[in-house]
Chains A and B, each alone.
Chain A
């Protein structure tokens, strides 16, 4: 069974530029999550989707971050404009349902200069 796919794996941009990340969850997984992991810290939930609806986006900086999950499958996370403090690894995860364990993708390492 294929795991969670993410692209790109690495991205370097200048501050104030925009960037987008893509995630394809495990087939059949209804719940999709985006996390931000700053070096030396545990992942922090940014947004959680159940099918194509948002369940929790309380920690998403909505003035610059946006996310969507089209047709309840793939998802994109966008940052516009980026700030230096957005440098982190962005992890996508999926689960059968929100009561089950989450499976993580390889992440996208973002560097903002």
Chain B
């Protein structure tokens, strides 16, 4: 069985602060994929990143960066110099199994204050 844990239910930061969202996963599969999605107040889930289990290289995209550590089963997401527009619920998700079912964490509500 797959499981994704996002222990931080809510985080509040002031604009321009850096913030890290934690994600810990469990799976018995040797090949799997990890994702981050953003859900702004409008409700539509927006794809941010996909990472496969064989690629532990960290990734940076503008103000966003991701740290994948297989040894600790973690896939953390950092926003540098946060902005008010970053306020949203962020979901970590795991895809594994023969049909690659996507299992979501419970989400972290990020609020960036001006």
List residues of chain A with CB under 8 Å of any chain B CB.
Answer: 33, 40-45, 48, 50, 55-56, 89, 91, 93, 98-107, 109
List residues of chain B with CB under 8 Å of any chain A CB.
Answer: 4, 33, 35, 37, 42-47, 50, 91, 93, 95, 99-107
**What are the residues of chain B within 8 A of A101 when measuring CB–CB?**
35, 47, 50
A48 lies within 8 A of B101 (CB): yes
Q: Pick the contact of B47: A55, A99, A103, A106 (CB < 8 A).
A: A103
A106 lies within 8 A of B99 (CB): no
Q: Closest residue to B109 on the A side, CB-wise?
A: A40
Bound: A41/B35 CA distance, A: 17
Contact A102/B47 with A42-B91, A48-B99, A55-B99 known, Cβ cut-off 8 Å: yes
Contact A45/B44 with A101-B35, A101-B50 known, Cβ cut-off 8 Å: no
Instruction: Quote the shortest CB–CB distance from B30 to chain A (angstroms).
Output: 15
Q: Pick the contact of A89: B43, B91, B107 (CB < 8 A).
A: B43
B33 lies within 8 A of A99 (CB): yes
B99 lies within 8 A of A107 (CB): no
Bound: A41/B4 CA distance, A: 12
